[in-house]
Protein backbone atom coordinates (compact mmCIF):
# COMPACT_ATOMS: atom_id res chain seq x y z
CA UNK A 1 0.00 0.00 0.00
CA UNK A 2 1.30 3.47 -0.82
CA UNK A 3 0.64 4.90 2.59
CA UNK A 4 2.15 8.32 2.12
CA UNK A 5 2.72 11.09 -0.37
CA UNK A 6 5.69 13.45 -0.21
CA UNK A 7 5.29 17.15 -0.82
CA UNK A 8 8.43 19.18 -1.43
CA UNK A 9 8.93 22.55 0.18
CA UNK A 10 11.20 25.38 -1.08
CA UNK A 11 13.75 24.22 1.45
CA UNK A 12 15.31 21.00 0.23
CA UNK A 13 16.21 19.96 3.78
CA UNK A 14 12.54 19.99 4.79
CA UNK A 15 10.26 17.33 3.33
CA UNK A 16 6.67 16.84 4.31
CA UNK A 17 4.98 13.52 3.95
CA UNK A 18 1.25 13.14 4.26
CA UNK A 19 0.22 9.77 5.56
CA UNK A 20 -2.97 9.07 3.69
CA UNK A 21 -4.16 5.70 4.94
CA UNK A 22 -7.60 7.17 4.88
CA UNK A 23 -6.64 10.85 4.97
CA UNK A 24 -5.78 12.60 8.24
CA UNK A 25 -8.88 14.79 8.20
CA UNK A 26 -11.38 12.41 6.62
CA UNK A 27 -12.93 11.40 9.92
CA UNK A 28 -14.00 14.87 11.07
CA UNK A 29 -17.53 14.28 9.74
CA UNK A 30 -17.79 10.91 11.52
CA UNK A 31 -16.36 12.25 14.75
CA UNK A 32 -18.67 15.26 14.76
CA UNK A 33 -21.74 13.18 14.00
CA UNK A 34 -20.83 10.67 16.68
CA UNK A 35 -19.74 13.27 19.22
CA UNK A 36 -22.95 15.32 18.90
CA UNK A 37 -25.13 12.21 19.06
CA UNK A 38 -23.69 11.25 22.46
CA UNK A 39 -24.94 12.38 25.80
CA UNK A 40 -23.10 14.35 27.12
CA UNK A 41 -21.81 15.73 23.82
CA UNK A 42 -18.12 15.41 23.12
CA UNK A 43 -15.52 16.30 20.44
CA UNK A 44 -11.97 14.93 19.97
CA UNK A 45 -9.29 17.51 20.85
CA UNK A 46 -7.19 16.88 17.74
CA UNK A 47 -9.60 19.16 15.83
CA UNK A 48 -8.39 22.20 17.79
CA UNK A 49 -5.22 22.22 15.75
CA UNK A 50 -5.86 23.84 12.40
CA UNK A 51 -3.37 26.58 11.57
CA UNK A 52 -5.21 29.12 13.76
CA UNK A 53 -5.64 26.66 16.63
CA UNK A 54 -1.94 25.81 16.55
CA UNK A 55 -1.08 29.53 16.74
CA UNK A 56 -3.51 30.00 19.62
CA UNK A 57 -1.88 27.08 21.41
CA UNK A 58 1.45 28.91 21.04
CA UNK A 59 -0.12 31.94 22.72
CA UNK A 60 -1.36 29.73 25.57
CA UNK A 61 2.18 28.44 26.01
CA UNK A 62 3.46 31.96 26.55
CA UNK A 63 0.68 32.94 28.99
CA UNK A 64 2.05 33.46 32.53
CA UNK A 65 -0.60 31.16 34.02
CA UNK A 66 0.28 28.22 31.75
CA UNK A 67 3.21 26.73 33.69
CA UNK A 68 3.63 23.38 31.79
CA UNK A 69 5.53 24.83 28.82
CA UNK A 70 8.07 26.85 30.77
CA UNK A 71 8.51 24.05 33.32
CA UNK A 72 9.19 21.43 30.67
CA UNK A 73 11.32 23.89 28.75
CA UNK A 74 13.54 24.44 31.80
CA UNK A 75 13.89 20.68 32.33
CA UNK A 76 14.86 20.17 28.69
CA UNK A 77 17.30 23.04 28.84
CA UNK A 78 19.05 21.44 31.81
CA UNK A 79 18.86 17.79 30.82
CA UNK A 80 19.13 17.62 27.02
CA UNK A 81 22.92 17.27 27.02
CA UNK A 82 22.82 14.17 29.24
CA UNK A 83 19.82 12.72 27.34
CA UNK A 84 21.58 13.05 23.98
CA UNK A 85 24.87 11.74 25.38
CA UNK A 86 23.01 8.71 26.73
CA UNK A 87 20.86 7.91 23.67
CA UNK A 88 23.10 9.17 20.82
CA UNK A 89 20.09 9.15 18.51
CA UNK A 90 20.45 8.88 14.77
CA UNK A 91 16.95 10.30 14.57
CA UNK A 92 14.51 12.15 16.80
CA UNK A 93 10.87 11.34 16.14
CA UNK A 94 8.59 13.84 17.85
CA UNK A 95 4.90 13.04 18.15
CA UNK A 96 2.58 16.06 18.34
CA UNK A 97 5.57 18.32 17.71
CA UNK A 98 3.65 21.57 17.13
CA UNK A 99 6.11 24.49 16.85
CA UNK A 100 9.06 22.28 17.98
CA UNK A 101 10.21 25.20 20.14
CA UNK A 102 11.34 23.10 23.11
CA UNK A 103 12.97 20.56 20.80
CA UNK A 104 15.73 23.08 20.13
CA UNK A 105 17.29 22.07 23.46
CA UNK A 106 17.67 18.51 22.19
CA UNK A 107 18.98 19.76 18.85
CA UNK A 108 21.42 22.15 20.55
CA UNK A 109 22.78 19.18 22.46
CA UNK A 110 23.06 17.20 19.20
CA UNK A 111 24.89 20.14 17.68
CA UNK A 112 27.33 20.42 20.58
CA UNK A 113 27.97 16.68 20.66
CA UNK A 114 28.21 16.41 16.86
CA UNK A 115 25.44 13.89 16.96
CA UNK A 116 23.82 14.80 13.65
CA UNK A 117 20.39 13.29 14.10
CA UNK A 118 17.62 13.52 11.56
CA UNK A 119 14.47 15.20 12.90
CA UNK A 120 11.05 13.67 12.20
CA UNK A 121 8.22 15.83 13.54
CA UNK A 122 4.80 14.20 13.35
CA UNK A 123 1.62 16.20 13.76
CA UNK A 124 -1.93 16.63 12.42
CA UNK A 125 -1.06 20.22 11.52
CA UNK A 126 1.23 20.38 8.47
CA UNK A 127 1.52 24.20 8.39
CA UNK A 128 3.15 24.45 11.78
CA UNK A 129 5.67 21.71 10.94
CA UNK A 130 6.67 23.43 7.70
CA UNK A 131 7.36 26.73 9.49
CA UNK A 132 9.14 24.91 12.34
CA UNK A 133 11.19 22.90 9.83
CA UNK A 134 12.31 26.02 7.94
CA UNK A 135 13.28 27.72 11.16
CA UNK A 136 15.26 24.69 12.38
CA UNK A 137 17.14 24.09 9.13
CA UNK A 138 18.23 27.76 9.18
CA UNK A 139 19.49 27.30 12.71
CA UNK A 140 21.30 23.97 12.20
CA UNK A 141 23.11 23.66 8.88
CA UNK A 142 23.39 19.86 9.23
CA UNK A 143 19.73 19.18 10.00
CA UNK A 144 17.36 17.21 7.75
CA UNK A 145 13.70 17.54 8.65
CA UNK A 146 11.28 14.88 7.48
CA UNK A 147 7.84 16.00 8.65
CA UNK A 148 4.90 13.62 8.75
CA UNK A 149 1.29 14.77 8.69
CA UNK A 150 -1.04 12.23 10.23
CA UNK A 151 -2.87 11.01 13.27
CA UNK A 152 -0.53 9.49 15.83
CA UNK A 153 -3.26 7.23 17.14
CA UNK A 154 -3.57 5.59 13.75
CA UNK A 155 -0.54 6.18 11.58
CA UNK A 156 2.53 5.22 13.62
CA UNK A 157 3.01 1.91 11.74
CA UNK A 158 3.28 3.87 8.46
CA UNK A 159 6.38 5.75 9.68
CA UNK A 160 9.71 4.80 8.12
CA UNK A 161 12.15 2.62 10.08
CA UNK A 162 15.63 3.84 10.85
CA UNK A 163 19.19 2.54 11.14
CA UNK A 164 20.35 3.70 14.52
CA UNK A 165 18.92 4.50 17.92
CA UNK A 166 15.82 6.62 17.75
CA UNK A 167 14.64 9.04 20.41
CA UNK A 168 10.84 9.17 20.38
CA UNK A 169 9.71 12.38 22.06
CA UNK A 170 6.17 13.02 23.25
CA UNK A 171 6.29 16.34 25.03
CA UNK A 172 3.98 18.99 26.41
CA UNK A 173 1.99 16.71 28.70
CA UNK A 174 -0.10 15.63 25.71
CA UNK A 175 -0.36 12.11 27.17
CA UNK A 176 -2.79 13.76 29.63
CA UNK A 177 -5.21 14.41 26.77
CA UNK A 178 -5.88 10.67 26.56
CA UNK A 179 -8.20 8.74 28.87
CA UNK A 180 -6.66 5.94 30.92
CA UNK A 181 -7.28 3.12 28.42
CA UNK A 182 -6.44 5.30 25.42
CA UNK A 183 -3.13 6.34 27.00
CA UNK A 184 -2.17 2.71 27.53
CA UNK A 185 -3.15 1.77 23.97
CA UNK A 186 -1.24 4.75 22.61
CA UNK A 187 1.93 3.94 24.58
CA UNK A 188 1.69 0.34 23.44
CA UNK A 189 1.46 1.63 19.87
CA UNK A 190 4.69 3.60 20.42
CA UNK A 191 6.34 0.55 21.98
CA UNK A 192 5.38 -1.49 18.92
CA UNK A 193 7.48 0.73 16.63
CA UNK A 194 10.53 0.82 18.92
CA UNK A 195 13.63 -1.34 19.02
CA UNK A 196 15.71 -2.17 22.09
CA UNK A 197 18.17 0.68 21.54
CA UNK A 198 15.42 3.31 21.07
CA UNK A 199 14.26 5.53 23.90
CA UNK A 200 11.01 7.31 24.76
CA UNK A 201 11.16 10.83 26.18
CA UNK A 202 7.78 11.74 27.59
CA UNK A 203 6.53 14.80 29.46
CA UNK A 204 3.56 14.58 31.81
CA UNK A 205 1.85 17.15 33.98
CA UNK A 206 1.48 16.38 37.67
CA UNK A 207 -1.38 16.82 40.11
CA UNK A 208 -1.09 20.06 42.06
CA UNK A 209 -2.98 22.86 43.73
CA UNK A 210 -6.44 23.37 42.18
CA UNK A 211 -5.98 27.14 41.92
CA UNK A 212 -2.79 26.79 39.91
CA UNK A 213 -4.51 24.34 37.57
CA UNK A 214 -7.63 26.45 37.22
CA UNK A 215 -5.63 29.54 36.32
CA UNK A 216 -3.60 27.64 33.71
CA UNK A 217 -6.78 26.73 31.80
CA UNK A 218 -8.52 30.08 32.32
CA UNK A 219 -5.79 32.56 31.37
CA UNK A 220 -6.62 36.22 31.78
CA UNK A 221 -5.86 37.08 28.13
CA UNK A 222 -8.51 34.61 26.97
CA UNK A 223 -6.19 32.55 24.76
CA UNK A 224 -7.48 29.26 26.12
CA UNK A 225 -11.08 30.39 25.61
CA UNK A 226 -10.33 31.34 21.99
CA UNK A 227 -8.52 28.03 21.46
CA UNK A 228 -11.50 26.11 22.81
CA UNK A 229 -14.04 28.04 20.70
CA UNK A 230 -11.86 27.58 17.61
CA UNK A 231 -13.05 23.98 17.34
CA UNK A 232 -16.48 25.36 16.35
CA UNK A 233 -14.80 27.53 13.68
CA UNK A 234 -13.16 24.38 12.31
CA UNK A 235 -16.55 22.62 12.14
CA UNK A 236 -18.16 25.69 10.51
CA UNK A 237 -15.46 25.85 7.85
CA UNK A 238 -14.94 22.15 7.18
CA UNK A 239 -18.54 20.94 7.42
CA UNK A 240 -20.55 24.05 6.53
CA UNK A 241 -21.96 24.32 10.06
CA UNK A 242 -23.63 27.42 11.45
CA UNK A 243 -22.29 27.72 14.97
CA UNK A 244 -22.55 31.25 16.34
CA UNK A 245 -19.48 31.48 18.56
CA UNK A 246 -21.09 34.26 20.62
CA UNK A 247 -23.66 31.74 21.83
CA UNK A 248 -21.04 29.44 23.44
CA UNK A 249 -18.56 30.01 26.26
CA UNK A 250 -15.36 28.42 27.48
CA UNK A 251 -15.74 26.43 30.70
CA UNK A 252 -12.69 24.71 32.22
CA UNK A 253 -12.38 23.29 35.74
CA UNK A 254 -10.36 20.74 37.70
CA UNK A 255 -12.28 17.52 38.30
CA UNK A 256 -10.46 16.52 41.45
CA UNK A 257 -11.69 12.93 41.88
CA UNK A 258 -10.65 12.17 38.29
CA UNK A 259 -7.49 14.32 38.64
CA UNK A 260 -8.12 16.00 35.33
CA UNK A 261 -8.91 19.36 33.86
CA UNK A 262 -12.07 19.22 31.79
CA UNK A 263 -12.54 21.73 29.06
CA UNK A 264 -16.09 22.26 27.82
CA UNK A 265 -18.01 24.60 25.54
CA UNK A 266 -21.19 25.73 27.25
CA UNK A 267 -24.26 26.83 25.34
CA UNK A 268 -25.49 30.25 26.51
CA UNK A 269 -29.03 29.64 25.28
CA UNK A 270 -31.44 27.01 24.00
CA UNK A 271 -30.47 26.72 20.34
CA UNK A 272 -30.49 24.51 17.27
CA UNK A 273 -27.48 24.41 14.95
CA UNK A 274 -27.51 23.05 11.40
CA UNK A 275 -24.47 21.20 10.04
CA UNK A 276 -24.90 21.28 6.27
CA UNK A 277 -22.50 18.54 5.19
CA UNK A 278 -23.99 16.10 7.68
CA UNK A 279 -27.54 17.33 7.06
CA UNK A 280 -27.80 17.27 10.84
CA UNK A 281 -29.59 19.52 13.31
CA UNK A 282 -28.04 19.59 16.75
CA UNK A 283 -30.00 21.00 19.65
CA UNK A 284 -28.44 22.52 22.77
CA UNK A 285 -30.14 23.40 26.02
CA UNK A 286 -29.05 26.57 27.81
CA UNK A 287 -26.13 25.54 30.05
CA UNK A 288 -25.53 22.28 28.21
CA UNK A 289 -21.88 21.52 27.62
CA UNK A 290 -19.73 19.78 25.01
CA UNK A 291 -16.60 18.14 26.41
CA UNK A 292 -13.74 19.17 24.13
CA UNK A 293 -10.69 18.03 26.09
CA UNK A 294 -9.49 16.31 29.21
CA UNK A 295 -6.03 17.03 30.57
CA UNK A 296 -5.02 14.48 33.17
CA UNK A 297 -2.72 15.44 35.99
CA UNK A 298 -0.67 12.48 37.16
CA UNK A 299 0.69 11.13 40.41
CA UNK A 300 4.21 9.70 39.86
CA UNK A 301 2.95 6.18 40.61
CA UNK A 302 0.31 6.41 37.88
CA UNK A 303 2.98 7.28 35.30
CA UNK A 304 5.23 4.42 36.36
CA UNK A 305 2.27 2.07 36.23
CA UNK A 306 1.06 3.00 32.74
CA UNK A 307 4.61 2.94 31.31
CA UNK A 308 5.25 -0.44 32.90
CA UNK A 309 2.01 -1.83 31.50
CA UNK A 310 2.92 -0.55 28.05
CA UNK A 311 6.27 -2.37 28.19
CA UNK A 312 8.65 0.40 29.31
CA UNK A 313 11.19 0.74 32.09
CA UNK A 314 11.94 4.20 33.42
CA UNK A 315 15.65 5.02 33.10
CA UNK A 316 15.55 8.63 34.24
CA UNK A 317 12.87 10.73 35.84
CA UNK A 318 13.47 14.48 35.88
CA UNK A 319 11.27 16.80 37.90
CA UNK A 320 11.49 20.43 39.00
CA UNK A 321 11.83 21.49 42.66
CA UNK A 322 8.08 22.18 42.91
CA UNK A 323 7.18 18.74 41.44
CA UNK A 324 4.91 20.40 38.90
CA UNK A 325 5.96 18.18 36.03
CA UNK A 326 7.67 14.92 35.05
CA UNK A 327 10.07 14.42 32.16
CA UNK A 328 10.78 10.73 31.79
CA UNK A 329 13.29 8.82 29.70
CA UNK A 330 12.19 5.22 29.27
CA UNK A 331 13.39 2.18 27.37
CA UNK A 332 11.48 -0.85 26.11
CA UNK A 333 11.79 -3.73 28.61
CA UNK A 334 14.55 -6.07 27.44
CA UNK A 335 13.53 -8.30 24.61
CA UNK A 336 10.07 -6.74 24.22
CA UNK A 337 10.82 -4.20 21.51
CA UNK A 338 9.83 -4.50 17.86
CA UNK A 339 11.86 -6.53 15.40
CA UNK A 340 11.39 -4.70 12.13
CA UNK A 341 10.81 -6.93 9.19
CA UNK A 342 9.61 -4.42 6.66
CA UNK A 343 12.87 -3.09 5.24
CA UNK A 344 16.22 -4.82 4.57
CA UNK A 345 18.08 -2.60 7.04
CA UNK A 346 15.74 -3.65 9.86
CA UNK A 347 15.83 -7.41 9.46
CA UNK A 348 14.23 -9.63 12.05
CA UNK A 349 16.74 -11.07 14.48
Choose the contact partner of 293 out of ligand AVI, ligand SAH, none; CB within 5 to 8 A by kind.
ligand AVI
Cα 213 from Cα 224, distance rounded (Å)? 13
Q: Binding residue for ligand SAH (CB under 6 A) from 42, 91, 117, 174?
A: 174
Residue 144 makes contact with ligand AVI by CB under 6 A: no
Residue 224 makes contact with ligand AVI by CB under 6 A: yes
Of the candidates 233, 228, 242, 245, the one whose C-alpha atom is nearest the C-alpha of residue 280 is: 242
Q: Binding residue for ligand AVI (CB under 6 A) from 24, 44, 133, 172?
A: 172
Pick out residues in 317-336 that bind ligand SAH (CB under 6 A).
none
Choose the contact partner of 190 out of ligand AVI, ligand SAH, none; CB within 5 to 8 A by kind.
none
> From the CB of 54, what's the least distance to ligand SAH, in Å?
6
List CB contacts of 75: < 8 A, sequence separation 6 or more.
203, 318, 319, 320, 325, 327
Residue 172 makes contact with ligand SAH by CB under 6 A: yes
CB nearer to ligand SAH: give 50 or 162.
Answer: 50
List CB contacts of 59: < 8 A, sequence separation 6 or more.
221, 223, 227
Residue 104 makes contact with ligand SAH by CB under 6 A: no
Choose the contact partner of 176 out of ligand AVI, ligand SAH, none; CB within 5 to 8 A by kind.
ligand AVI
C-alpha dihedral, 166 to 148 to 217 to 72, nearest 10°: 20
Q: Quick one: DSSP state of residue 333?
A: P
Distance of alpha carbon 227 from the chain centroid: 15
Give the interface size with ligand AVI as a residue count (CB under 6 A): 12
Cα 251 from Cα 225, distance rounded (Å)? 8
Q: Binding residue for ligand AVI (CB under 6 A) from 19, 28, 60, 159?
A: 60
Residue 50 makes contact with ligand SAH by CB under 6 A: no
Q: Binding residue for ligand AVI (CB under 6 A) from 293, 298, 326, 331?
A: 293
Q: Dihedrals φ, ψ of 329, to 5°? A: -105, 125
DSSP letter string, 229-285: HHHHHHHHHHH-B---GGGEEEEEEEETTTTEEEEEEEESS-EEEEEGGGTEEEEE-
Residue 124 makes contact with ligand SAH by CB under 6 A: yes
The footprint of ligand SAH (CB under 6 A) covers: 46, 49, 54, 57, 61, 69, 96-98, 102, 123-125, 151-153, 171-172, 174
The footprint of ligand AVI (CB under 6 A) covers: 60, 68, 172-174, 176-177, 217, 224, 263, 293, 295
Amino acid sequence: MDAARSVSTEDTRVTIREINNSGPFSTLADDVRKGFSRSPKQLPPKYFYDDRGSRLFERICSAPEYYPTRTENALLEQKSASIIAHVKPSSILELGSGSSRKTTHLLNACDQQQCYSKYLPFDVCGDIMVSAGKHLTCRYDWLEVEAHVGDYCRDLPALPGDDGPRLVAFLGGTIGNFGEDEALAFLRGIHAIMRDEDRLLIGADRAKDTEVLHAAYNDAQGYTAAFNLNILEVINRELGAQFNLDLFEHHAFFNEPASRIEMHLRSKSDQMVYIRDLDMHVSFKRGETVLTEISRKFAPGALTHVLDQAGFVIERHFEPGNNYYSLILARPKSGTAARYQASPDRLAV
